[in-house]
Structure 1
Amino acid sequence: MNIPSLNYLFSITFRDVVKLSRIYFLYYWIIRPVIISSLRTLIKSENFKVNFILAGVVKAGTTAVYESLKQTDQLCLSVVKEVKFFTDEKFYNRNDSEAFYHSFFNRKSHQKLVGEASPSYLYHYGDIQRIYNYNKDIKLIVILRNPIERAYSHWNMRRARNQDPLSFSQAIRKDKERLDKETVESDWNFSYLKAGQYVFQLQRMWQYFPKQQTLIIKHDDLLDDYQNELKKIYEFLGIPGQKPERQKMIHARGYPQALNTADREYLLDYYREDILALEKVLDWDCSHWLD
């Protein structure tokens, strides 16, 4: 066996040591973590597909339902509620987009059902097609709220966050003008009115997914009997008999000011035709939305 001579060892200069140290540092702290991370995400992406999404609508109780589903051991929910993978161009157009998407899920081996809740998906043009391209067998859950209440709740949320300088009266009357200035049918942030036109959004979803792969829930029913509506969701996902640990509060918070009569009448005129069409499409009674 050849053993390096002492002369060779002593011939290594300080500069050589520095070079070797740099190579080691580069490998151990930069290259190695990237390789390990890539392998982990690759393994994750190959092992599962997201197979259900709470896809709408904004300000309709999706957070409460997400939290309840997250308590169910058989379900793996995303670590953050609104991944927005199919909406955000920066996410969707990554070279490792699917692996990146799957990195939001810490799935256990016994969890066969994997889902998330991004309520903007139903509204944004193109998101449903992207979801179909990702998994044509996915199940979609949509909660629909009285569009008048939804619009006011949406504005109140943004107003509380100092994200909209306009009053509600100004905002709803400038809705179309503001959306025309936006791209990709606008960020849902300013779609107080358009986001509540449900019939078109549902029909667009059904162009890609058969109705048996979709579950439409009325927000009023969630308020009246939360447990029963969750039961419908569990049965739809194929895991009947589940019970959440506790019931979540849905829109329990009041608003600084009630919706005034003039704005309510404006919204009634705006939504009347769509609400009547929705009743026919879903065989629902929404007459109380028009009161």
Structure 2
Amino acid sequence: MEPKVDFIIAGAQKAGTTALFDYLGEHPQIGLSDVKEVHFFDDETRDWAAPDYGAYHARFGLADRSRRWGEATPIYLYWKNSIERIAAYNPAIRLIVLLRDPVARAFSHWKMEFARGAETNPFAWCIRQGRQRLFEAEPWGFHREFSYVERGFYGEQIEHLLNLFPADQLLLLRAEDLEATPGPVLERVSAFLGVDAPPPVQARRVHVGQDIAYPSPLTPADEALLRCLYAADMARLKALTGISYAPE
């Protein structure tokens, strides 16, 4: 049987996935895709009724079975049907998900899109009227750039994932922990992937937002709105995982 990819860092965007990918690249028993974000399972141009995995496998050195092979495409957790496609590809795959306070994640996401020119509107508008743009997107209700609020509904996304995979194939991590104390987090990842303890690492931050003049800050009113929007989902996340970003 043709070897398959062993693990995927499936989300969330702006939650430390690039830093984790960078750290794992230093582990001698872990092999990574030739680009960080392969964007295979969110590719709507493919024939998902009869998918051809050849192009996907070409991104890896799967013939080397001395390593665990993986990639990191953080849109998978959010994007419609990606998790189903991963389950069909390899039901035994291991999934790593990094979470970050959803309010901070949303603002960081907006800053990224604004800095690269995809977004021209202020944050306050984007998380209110701007959410209507998702209903003009394809697939309906999903948007790669403007999903600032929607990507933060972690409870819903994790519940969906756990309906398709057993809990022991999912490792949930907090971006805040990876940034503050990467060593213990990487030890957990290594154990989860069945490889030796990682070599010592130096803490780092990767893909920090550009230092430019943004047209709006994260205001108390914006934060209060988002906390309210996320309240029910945060309760769901806590019930499922014990993790919560709800205010004390």
Superposition TM-score, scaled by structure 1 size: 0.77
Alignment correspondent of 2:170 = 214
Amino acid at match of 2:163: Q
Distance 1:67 1:249 in 2: 10
- In the TM superposition, what is the alpha-carbon distance from 1:131 to its structure 2 partner? 0.4
Q: Identity over the aligned pairs, expressed in percent?
A: 34
- In the TM superposition, what is the alpha-carbon distance from 1:236 to its structure 2 partner? 0.5
Amino acid at match of 2:233: D
| Aligned-pair Cα RMSD in Å | 2.1
Cα pair 1:86 1:130 within 8 Å, conserved: yes
Alignment correspondent of 2:90 = 135
- In the TM superposition, what is the alpha-carbon distance from 1:152 to its structure 2 partner? 0.2
Cα pair 1:71 1:244 within 8 Å, conserved: no
Alignment correspondent of 2:158 = 202
Deviations 1:81-105 (A, max 9, x none): 1101000123565977211101111
Structure 2 unpaired stretches of 5+:
none
Cα pair 2:156 2:236 within 8 Å, conserved: no
The yes-or-no answer on 1:262 pairing with 2:221 is yes
The DSSP-based 3-state class of the residue aligned with 1:190 is: coil
If you compute each CA radius of gyration, which structure gives the higher value, 1 or 2?
1
- In the TM superposition, what is the alpha-carbon distance from 1:221 to its structure 2 partner? 1.5
Cα pair 2:181 2:203 within 8 Å, conserved: no
1:69-218 alignment, distance < 5 Å:
69-91=24-46, 93=48, 97-107=52-62, 109-184=64-139, 185-218=141-174
Cα pair 1:151 1:193 within 8 Å, conserved: yes
Distance 1:180 1:81 in 2: 29
Distance 2:97 2:51 in 1: 28
Structure 1 unpaired stretches of 5+:
1-45
The yes-or-no answer on 1:284 pairing with 2:243 is yes
Distance 2:33 2:153 in 1: 28
Alignment correspondent of 2:198 = 242
The DSSP-based 3-state class of the residue aligned with 1:278 is: helix
Distance 1:213 1:136 in 2: 9
**Alignment length (residue pairs):** 244
The yes-or-no answer on 1:227 pairing with 2:227 is no
- In the TM superposition, what is the alpha-carbon distance from 1:47 to its structure 2 partner? 4.2
Amino acid at match of 2:165: F
Q: Choose between structure 1 and 2: higher helix proportion.
A: 1
